[in-house]
Structure 1
């Protein structure tokens, strides 16, 4: 029997408009496969090319999915074309006859999703309330299930019977080894590494209906990365085909989607599953993860929710009275008409610097509300030629090029340490860029920062300053204070008539919302533990939250190099922890409070002299309440790699089981 490939066509059976339950399955399955919908009547002539031309679109092999009474049509189709239909999924099937027989030789694999207790109604309810659970079962069947006979022989010779196949029950709670929260770089990277080492018992939960994290969410005009493409990608999954030195947001998103397909992560994804609560069960030594569509009990919890996932909106008096569209840059609305509109942009960070030049070309006018001016340096971007891309396909050449990029970026940490000469050259470069691109003295003065370079994120752009200099752009050197109808008033009292308001005001990076939904030992909430700022041992494990690992969390980001380097180091550390735990027969590991405190003191000491704490600015790197640097790693990236290259078991407490409820 042929094992269908991930490219097998999916044929959804149902009368047009009659199966609302297919509304979720169709687009979700279409993420990775060709999907067509057919009326069961179309199969009445058989599956041969001359009998059912519509099915010829399915190619040489396909999988039929049918709900309820459409099961008979799927079975009849399989009788007529046993070699062509390689898989069948029947969702709570209703048969015209109790146990249909077939003459099919070597029939397809069949998955039946049914409820033992209440039949069709229960399964339909599950499909509506927990559609990701159904989708995951189907995808696991399509991608992972080995070929197996679907019937038992009832006669001698070549005939077989088509009796009801094995039934897969839909449980309310799924027991699994590892739950990964988030399907951005960190979550997908953790999933890839788990799968490559043979760990199949994991799921990746994602509240959105696609992977990609910040590169899925941010689709505003001009969105791109400011880290070189070949460094802003997995070292274990190089891409020789990057189109340019700095990749666009859509190209990075495509890279992550391709990684899911090439690494076979689809069966592990649970899209549309927002995590509502993560709670440690002390008696069971397990985590219970409750989502909007299902519930999981797992031994290991990897939180990869990211730091750029929840938009931050400043409090602006009267904002609700604004008469036009209001949107955050991370939730861009393409339906909003921008031509001949008066647009206000709040913020001058990295997203705003990419967005403003595009808006200046699209709209009649743009007002930029600037709380503080950014430093901007030239963007050394260029397209790669086909010859360069061919060279990148050589693993040795690619590794050498990536190594050059890494160490070139590492040098920039000296600037963040305010090392004389290094920081002076960077400052001179930025101010020279400003002077060369902005001729108007008043605009240049307003665009000149009043703090040390590097204290805030340094912008890399060739078109931001020219946009500020254009006649269609007004730089208002103060924050947006209030809104009344269509009138926006700045902190300095300037009033502007606007049609559209765009907030490019960043994210809740130092106070991640997931912390309010996470409960550790003794029911303590993570947000309470982090009330004085995020902290974790090795930037990864939080005391009081056994077997939980946070990726891209406390002091795990960089201000001078690629975040992917840090994520990979953390993944290596987590996998080493899991290996140690299993080798020693340990139920659970908890970072000791002493180790966490010592690590926090070390971080604070390293950060004290950096430009992030001494540069005279307010930035999203620093926790507003504790004034601690809680987001960035205040050292070289290679130091972080080395620090996490060995799992330090001596800094962890062993949590013993009080009683075992289940065995995973």
Structure 2
């Protein structure tokens, strides 16, 4: 059969846009990018809470082929990141390929026709090749706390902020102190009459070297692109040094993690003179077990008279407030859920049911047999399917270098299938299993294998105790591998009656 599209990409965030750009560069024109939202940007379209910004230096937060000399701050605010996504969609002429307001409900592989049948509320879309490019931080996670549904006040998740919500004069309770909480808490502390912050596990916090980038500097970066590339290279190298040498090769360089922890502890000591409060804000797990962040405003917020840090844990939520495990009830008019996202669980990875060969649903298969994914992208049970940002895909490199590596791998496979006149491309079981075994072996030498990580409650880990969110290799290696992996690790099957080349 002739499908509706040769390639269907699900997700119009930076992952999906990257795949679309790579497809156009490879001469593939028959593709569509669908997204449930009314516009592009993905997580940066959804996350508009007060204080939202990148938590890595702006210089690394762009495609290598499309540097952005226009960032106004060293850590770009969320609105600028979303504008950059819109710019890329326009410049690379992706608008004609977009099908917005289109939510994918499920996908099933038709083995007789070698096509994917993708269900949406508007009807079925068929495609030869399917790419899931929905980011890992897409589905907000509400806390599993008794009584949440009974709360009589306003409830808002940071990932779906209500800008009509007025916090002035109200008692606000923030649940969660991860990366989103760290950004939103200082912003709303001055607006609310009183702020209670419920912390389950503290976060490692770096001092934030943030500043406005002067207009003359931005003009220089526009006029001299090599300067911008040099800055990008330097910031990416620093990230690689910490994440790869310290986190991935922890057994070889434990001193690097200790040095980073010392920097963070010194930052905490400088900003919080109270020893008891400092102890409550100090992580008990090793740096790297959980996502860290940067801030100069987070710690001082807890020195305010109208802010209280609650570490006793939450027993239940009542219609009028929160009861902690010490039995103390604190009144609240507004609940702010800074509780992150669903990641390594059924329904989140992949982000919709994906049924491959033999009726195997990928999410259920992974949940039962542990997460596994060749080069972080493909499994034998799902031919013609690639999952961007899947298990074993995230390295310490720039997020955009991860996306570019995934897009390069995917489009290499699609163009090779076209060259061989193949209607089916499936990674072979042998290379897939060898990659998975290698990842699990390498993981034993990382910081994530340390016992203290068990207390971090990190989304890096799944219910099996594995940490398949992370790929224990350097970003440079992954970049090179995406361009050099053996295409014969895939089996390319031509359509019936067609010769292979």
TM-score bracket relative to the smaller structure = over 0.9
CA contact (8 A) 2:196 2:310 kept: yes
Counterpart for residue 270 of structure 2 = 436
Q: Aligned match of 1:507 in 313, 320, 341?
A: 341
Structure 1 residue 658: Cα displacement: 5.0
Alignment match, 1:308:
137
Secondary structure, counterpart of 1:434 in structure 2 = helix
Is the 2:15–2:133 contact (alpha carbons within 8 Å) kept by the matching residues of 1? yes
Equivalent residue number for residue 162 of structure 2 = 333
Matches within 5 A, 1:359-398: 359-393=188-222, 394-398=224-228
Higher RCO, Cα 8 Å, sep 6+ = 2
Tell whether the 8 Å contact from 2:290 to 2:460 is kept in structure 1 after alignment. no
User: What's the counterpart of residue 648 of structure 1?
Assistant: 486
What is the rounded CA distance, in whole Å, between the counterparts of 1:602 and 1:238 in structure 2? Answer: 34
CA distance in 2, matches of 1:389, 1:294: 47
Q: Does the 8 A contact of 1:468 with 1:475 survive in 2?
A: yes
Matches within 5 A, 1:252-291: 252-291=81-120
CA drift of 1:479 comes to 2.9
Q: Distance in 2 between matches of 1:434 and 1:206?
A: 41
Kindly provide the CA deviation profile for residues 355-380 of structure 1, in whole angstroms up to 9, marking residues without a partner as x. 00011111111111111111111011
Q: Alignment partner for residue 567 of structure 1, among 387, 403, 413?
A: 403
Tell me the residue number matched to 1:345.
174
Confirm or deny that 1:587 pairs with 2:418: no
Correspondence for 1:602 among 407, 425, 438: 438
- Which residue matches 2:232? 402
* Match among 408, 412, 415 for residue 246 of structure 2: 415
User: Do the aligned partners of 2:261 and 2:287 also contact (CA within 8 Å) in 1?
Assistant: yes
Q: Identify if the C-alpha distance between structure 1 residues 483 and 211 changes in structure 2 by more than 3 Å, giving closer, same or farther.
A: same
- Is structure 2 residue 378 aligned with structure 1 residue 541? yes
What does residue 232 of structure 1 align with?
61
Contact 1:179/1:301 (<8 A) preserved:
yes
Deviation, 1:343, is: 0.6
Matched, 1:633 2:464: no
> Which residue number in structure 2 is paired with residue 519 of structure 1?
355
The one-character-per-residue Cα deviations of 1:120-176 (angstroms, maximum 9, x if unpaired) are xxxxxxxxxxxxxxxxxxxxxxxxxxxxxxxxxxxxxxxxxxxxxxxxxxxxx9611
Q: Which moved more, 1:407-416 or 1:344-353?
A: 407-416
Q: Does residue 555 in structure 1 map to residue 392 in structure 2?
A: yes
- Rounded to whole Å, the distance in 1 between the matches of 2:71 and 2:409 is 29
Deviation at 1:353, TM superposition (A): 0.3
Displacement of 1:440: 1.7
Check whether the contact 1:353–1:464 (CA below 8 A) recurs between aligned residues: yes
Which residue of 329, 347, 358 corresponds with 2:187? 358
- The reply on whether 1:208 has 2:37 as its aligned counterpart is yes
Cα RMSD, aligned residues only: 1.7
CA distance in 2, matches of 1:576, 1:177: 15
Cα distance in 2 for partners of 1:640, 1:526 equals 24
- Distance of 1:183 and 1:516 partners within structure 2: 15
Task: Please state whether the residue corresponding to 1:469 is helix, strand or coil.
Answer: coil
Query: In the TM superposition, what whole-angstrom CA distance separates every residue of 1:300-330 from its partner, at most 9, and x where no partner exists?
Result: 1111011000011121111111110111110
Asked if structure 2 preserves the Cα contact closer than 8 Å seen for 1:310 and 1:513, the reply is no
2:365 alignment partner in structure 1: 529
Q: Judge conservation of contact 2:420–2:494 (CA < 8 Å) in 1.
A: no
CA drift of 1:432 comes to: 0.6
- SS in structure 2 at match of 1:203: strand
* 1:201-227 deviation digits (Å, cap 9, x = unpaired): 110000011111110000100000011
Kindly provide the CA deviation profile for residues 253-272 of structure 1, in whole angstroms up to 9, marking residues without a partner as x. Answer: 01001111122111111111
Consecutive unaligned residues of structure 1, counting only runs of 5 or more, are 1-172
How far apart in 1 are the matches of 2:215 and 2:289?
Answer: 39
Residue aligned with 2:190, SS: helix
**Residue in 2 that maps onto 1:217:** 46
In the TM superposition, what whole-angstrom CA distance separates every residue of 1:80-111 from its partner, at most 9, and x where no partner exists? xxxxxxxxxxxxxxxxxxxxxxxxxxxxxxxx
Residue correspondence of structure 1 range 36-115 to structure 2 within 5 A: none
Aligned pair partner of 1:475 in 300, 309, 328: 309
Query: Shift in Å at residue 585 of structure 1?
Result: 2.1
Residue by residue, what CA displacement relative to the aligned partner does 1:577-601 show, whole Å, maximum 9, x if unpaired?
1222222222211112222221111
Q: d(CA) in 1 for partners of 2:177 and 2:340?
A: 10
**Whole-angstrom CA distance in 2 between matches of 1:323 and 1:633:** 43
Bigger mean CA deviation after superposition, 262-271 or 475-484: 475-484
Contact 1:373/1:447 (8 A) holds in 2 = yes
TM-score by length of structure 1 reads 0.71
Closer, same or farther in 2 for the Cα pair 1:194/1:608, shift >3 Å?
A: same
CA contact (8 A) 1:373 1:449 kept: yes
SS in 2 for 1:362: coil
In structure 2, do the counterparts of structure 1 residues 236 and 515 end up closer, same or farther at CA, with 3 Å as the change threshold? Answer: same
- With over 3 angstroms needed to count, the CA separation of the structure-2 counterparts of 1:504 and 1:659, relative to structure 1, is farther
Does 2:339 align with 1:489?
Answer: no
After superposition, the Cα gap between the structure-2 partners of 1:515 and 1:462, relative to the gap in structure 1 and judged at 3 Å, is closer
* Range moving further from structure 2, 213-222 or 520-529: 520-529
| 1:421 Cα deviation from its structure 2 partner | 2.6
Q: CA deviation at 1:622?
A: 3.5
